[in-house]
Amino acid sequence: ARGEDAPMNGGFPEFCQSNLPLIYGLYGLAFFVAGIVVALESGRNSQLRLTHALPFLAAFGITHGIHEWIEMFLLTATGTNLWLQALQGISIVLLAASFVLLIEFAVRLMRLLDEKYLPFRHATLLLTALYLVLLAAYRVAYFDGNEAPFWRFADIMARYTLGIPGAFLAAGAMLVQRRAFIREGYAQFSRDLIGAALAFAWYGIFQLIVPPAEFFPASHINTATFLNYTDIPVQLFRAIVGALGAIFIVRVLRVFETEYARRLERLNRERFETQERSAQELTVLFETCRILGASLDLNVLLHQAIEKIVTSVEPVVAGTVFLFDAREHAIVARAAYHRANAALPPDLSERARVQAQRAFETQALAYEPANAQSSVLALPLISGATPIGAISLTHAGAFSNLAVLQTLARQLVIAVENARLYERVQEKEELRGELLERVVAAQEEERKRLARELHDQTGQTLTGLAMGLHSVGAMVQTNPTLAAQRVQELERVSASAVDDLRQMIADLRPSQLDDLGLVPALREMANTLAARSQMQVEFVTNGPRRRLRAQLETILYRLAQEALNNAARHSKAQRVTMRLDFSAREIRLDSACKNALCWQAARSKFILNRAAARGSPREFHWNRSQR
């Protein structure tokens, strides 16, 4: 490209020819600056695929700029010493290397943007191999010891085999990048990419203008013929095209600022949405916890809680709370709610139950695969290490707040436990009140019985005894024999009164209960009742006998006593059976009679038995049956 220019006619062409080193300098400066700018931009943390190819474009600009500056130096240098020849060889190597880097940039960018360009992945290697093969062939066939023709051939082949393909590939890569930018929303850079593509295409066209050579097409299309036709050196056009290409490339690189602004806006929007979602989740947690703490009625709080969860948590459209029922040995739906405008499938209830059963059994999250309409998610309700139920949620989209649901499930467990504890406390309070009424009624009934027995038996006996003693006092002097008989009768009456008092004392607190325990006391009571009445009383025990707590023995004794007394007084039963069963975990006291009135007679003591059982570490049961 040096020394083959035809004479100038003056004016601008002569100015260009005389300032050719300056043109080379500006030409190299344009590429070098563009390379530095691209290198700085390629270090950005960007998600654009263009970033991964920019280092090769930066290396092309810097390398090509240095090549042009060496060419500028060679234009001003004089002589033909060895170091100038070495410098010329370095310049050609840099030229070829810059074109190789340009090819790699174009091929890599197109491969990153579209998979259909994968066949081009070996283009760099193939074109470089072709260039080296041509150089080796020339070196073997035509080299005569003169380095100048060889370096001229290397310059020409570098432009033909590397420069022209690299420029047109780069132009194509710019157009492919333009389509990608339009898809990604960066259409404002499409014109700059078209400009860069045109600049690369013209740059490839001007690479056809090579130093004159004896082979085609360099023999016809070369720098000399171009200067003869235009009077302007081709280096000026290359410099102009290179400068324009650098300008367009730098303008395209503004896409990183736009992307950064968009990413910042997206991050701010996501942060705002996250904050808004967190605030909403906190509101849901607060409102749900407030609902769970506002009522201790289990049914009320379950319905209010599931309604709040379904209406507040997106994308939940329906929900059901299942709790384990010990009587049915299965989970049972206790509360359900769905949005009014939700289109629910007909099999939703069964699907919700199945997932809830899975969550309950595995004590882990159970998730139904998504279908066209909805999916079901079930979370176990675990108290300590024991599952107590599950909550099943039907949703119409992906969950982003599973942690909130898990927190709500834990709060729901606490609320259920509190409600159940409150129910037990309330039941105990009711039982305690009823027990107090029963105790007072029993005390009053016992006092009435004692007063009646004292009045009917002991009182009358003592009255008769007093009257008899008075009459005996009058008979002693007049009829001693009759007085002696009457004293004997009074002795029998007094002995009967003493027996009646002892029986009443035994009924109040039998000594066998304290000394021997419950079983002997109940057997003695059965024998005594059978002896005093015409009713047959049978007492049966099962299981290993053992002493119970004094309070528990007293309660059982009084229950049996009242049942047998009521049966003797009111039922007119001929036979009563009382059975006491001992087991490892419970005490069971059963009574049965052959009259319907026995049921009514024993019924009043059932609450007393339940209250005593709740307050005892061992439960006992008071059952009645009619025969």
In a domain, 258, yes or no: no
- pLDDT of res. 598: 46
Q: How many residues does the chain have?
A: 627
Work out the pLDDT band at 10, boundaries 50, 70, 90.
low
587 compared with 26, residue with greater pLDDT: 26
Same domain, yes or no: 398 and 471: no
End position of a domain, from candidates 473, 508, 543 = 508
In the predicted structure, residue 402 carries a pLDDT above the cut 50: yes
In the predicted structure, residue 216 carries a pLDDT above the cut 80: yes
**Residues contacting residue 598 through CB under 8 Å, at least 6 positions apart:** 563, 566, 567, 571, 573, 576, 591, 592, 624, 626
In a domain, 261, yes or no: no
For residue 373, give the CATH number of its domain.
Answer: 3.30.450.40
For residue 153, give the CATH number of its domain.
Answer: 1.20.1070
Same domain, yes or no: 96 and 27: yes
DSSP label at residue 567:
I
Same domain, yes or no: 325 and 354: yes
Total number of domains constituting the chain: 4
In the predicted structure, residue 386 carries a pLDDT above the cut 50: yes
In the predicted structure, residue 1 carries a pLDDT above the cut 60: no
Amino acid at 511: S
Work out the pLDDT band at 373, boundaries 50, 70, 90.
low
In the predicted structure, residue 603 carries a pLDDT above the cut 70: no
Weakest-pLDDT range from 276-290, 295-309, 330-344, 440-454:
276-290
Same domain, yes or no: 309 and 452: no
End position of a domain, from candidates 422, 453, 477 = 422
Same domain, yes or no: 481 and 533: no
In the predicted structure, residue 52 carries a pLDDT above the cut 80: yes
In a domain, 6, yes or no: no
Same domain, yes or no: 403 and 313: yes
pLDDT digits (tens, 9 = 90+) for 554-591: 778 777 777 777 777 666 677 888 888 887 666 777 76
**∠123-127-129 over CA atoms, to 5°?**
120
In a domain, 260, yes or no: no
Weakest-pLDDT range from 16-30, 106-120, 279-293, 537-551:
279-293
- pLDDT of res. 316: 83
In the predicted structure, residue 604 carries a pLDDT above the cut 70: no
Same domain, yes or no: 435 and 355: no
In the predicted structure, residue 201 carries a pLDDT above the cut 90: yes
pLDDT digits (tens, 9 = 90+) for 71-113: 999 888 776 677 888 888 999 999 999 999 999 999 999 999 9
Same domain, yes or no: 520 and 494: no
- pLDDT of res. 370: 54
End position of a domain, from candidates 508, 531, 566 = 508
Question: What's the whole-number average pLDDT of the chain?
Answer: 81
Same domain, yes or no: 393 and 451: no
CB 213 within 8 A of CB 222: yes
Same domain, yes or no: 129 and 237: yes
pLDDT digits (tens, 9 = 90+) for 337-358: 888 877 777 777 888 888 889 9
For residue 473, give the CATH number of its domain.
Answer: 1.20.5
As given in the structure block, the two tokens for residue 446 are 């016992």
In a domain, 5, yes or no: no
User: What is the span of the domain harbouring residue 181?
Assistant: 12-253
- pLDDT of res. 172: 96
Same domain, yes or no: 171 and 241: yes
Task: Write the burial class of residue 418 (CB in 10 Å: 0-12 exposed, 13-18 middle, 19+ buried).
Answer: middle
